[in-house]
Amino acid sequence: MELKYIPKTSLNAWLAKVKDSGRQLYAPVAENGKTNFKRVSSVDEISMGHVQTAQSAKGVAFPRTEKLFSYARQQGSVTLQDYDPNALPSTVVFGLHPCDAAAFKPLSGIFGWDTQDKPFSERMQRVTLVSLSCSKCDAFCFCTSVGGSPGNADGSDILLTAVSDEGYLVEIVTDKGKSLIEPHAALFEAAPEVSKAELLAHVEVKFSVDEVERKIADAFESDVWKRQSARCMGCGACAFVCPACACFDVQENAKGAAGDRIRCWDSCGFALFTLHTSGHNPRGTQSQRWRQRLLHKFSYMPRRLAVRGCTGCGRCSRACPVDMNLSEHLKELESIHRTS
């Protein structure tokens, strides 16, 4: 991996040049007490002081709502306007943390599992991720418990790590990343000799994820799911903020003889998520839905896709209105009796 250094005074100049090269630039923006990824029109809008954005960056490849195609019926015939990948813009996401960059791997696993999902894969091809290592964390972060780290480069195209208040170590991870740097090479300098580990936040390891995965594979009938989900309201906030959740619904937005077929985020925590038209719901209770959420992330996905459905960003626990704390629940699952 190629290493460089960029002085803080050159960072905004580089990002401005990247934006002015015809790409959309998404970056963290602080507004009304929250920081979220937004498309910026000026690099002066970018905010870098947060531990974690409220929403993840996944919307750049899996938007909250997306038109799949449009149709119109006229005089007995139907015209179809299909999904047009050529209309998708090239996008650079700046300032996401390693847990968000790593989450594009499980998303890619789900959207490429049995058949390639065209909207997702076409967007991913046009997205470049310029991540920022974490120099601070909070009590909800647990990336180090699920195989990540505050300086994990896996999933990023470029990873920046603050060396001091003066500048950043630049790890160029992929060819996509290289193509953002090469045209502006004059802004970059030779990398200094630094110990990257000493520049990162200390994120405590809270449980053994291998042990959790071994235990829950046998815990389908356990009463632990009822106990843990007793206060869950099924609001879906945890799924909507999660960088690795991929549940979606497909809806018609029609008026008269014309309309759009859209897909929108959904959640396996919603009571109606698996309701059949017969009236039967195979996951009729909140404990069954909680079990599905955890088994999907920590058993089904590792087995089917060789990737975990959680990168330890902690957003679900920060967002939960009834203080369900995922790392605490995983810690409990680590120590349950295998047949309890």
**Which residues are near ligand SF4 by CB under 6 A?**
232-238, 241-244, 269, 310-316, 319-322, 324, 326
Closest contact distance (angstroms) between CB of 246 and ligand SF4 is: 11
Closest contact distance (angstroms) between CB of 271 and ligand SF4 is: 10
Backbone angles phi, psi at 285, to 5 degrees: -120, 160
Closest contact distance (angstroms) between CB of 128 and ligand SF4 is: 21
Backbone angles phi, psi at 101, to 5 degrees: -65, -40
Closest contact distance (angstroms) between CB of 95 and ligand SF4 is: 17
Integer Cα distance of 122 and 61 in angstroms: 8
Q: Which residue has the tokens 């599992």?
A: 113
Closest contact distance (angstroms) between CB of 125 and ligand SF4 is: 23
Residue 123 vs 315, nearer CB to ligand SF4: 315
Least Cα distance to 24 among 41, 36, 44, 47 occurs for 41
Q: Which two tokens stand for residue 252?
A: 């018609």
Closest contact distance (angstroms) between CB of 330 and ligand SF4 is: 9
Residue 55 vs 91, nearer CB to ligand SF4: 55
Closest contact distance (angstroms) between CB of 302 and ligand SF4 is: 13
Q: Are 95 and 51 in contact (CB under 8 A)?
A: no
Residue 61 vs 232, nearer CB to ligand SF4: 232
Residue 177 vs 222, nearer CB to ligand SF4: 222
Q: Which two tokens stand for residue 140?
A: 């909800």
Integer Cα distance of 116 and 21 in angstroms: 29
Integer Cα distance of 56 and 168 in angstroms: 23
Q: Which residue has the tokens 């960056």?
A: 57
Residue 168 vs 290, nearer CB to ligand SF4: 290
Q: Are 94 and 26 in contact (CB under 8 A)?
A: yes
Least Cα distance to 310 among 230, 192, 216 occurs for 216
Q: Which two tokens stand for residue 335?
A: 């120590």
Residue 151 vs 236, nearer CB to ligand SF4: 236
Q: Are 234 and 270 in contact (CB under 8 A)?
A: yes
Q: Give the β-pairing of 167-172 and 158-164.
A: antiparallel
Residue 168 vs 240, nearer CB to ligand SF4: 240
Closest contact distance (angstroms) between CB of 291 and ligand SF4 is: 12
Residue 163 vs 294, nearer CB to ligand SF4: 294
Closest contact distance (angstroms) between CB of 317 and ligand SF4 is: 7
Q: What is the DSSP letter of 187?
A: G
Q: Is 64 left (phi over 0), alpha (psi -120 to 50) or beta?
A: alpha
Residue 134 vs 313, nearer CB to ligand SF4: 313
Q: Coil, helix or strand for 160?
A: strand
Integer Cα distance of 95 and 8 in angstroms: 14
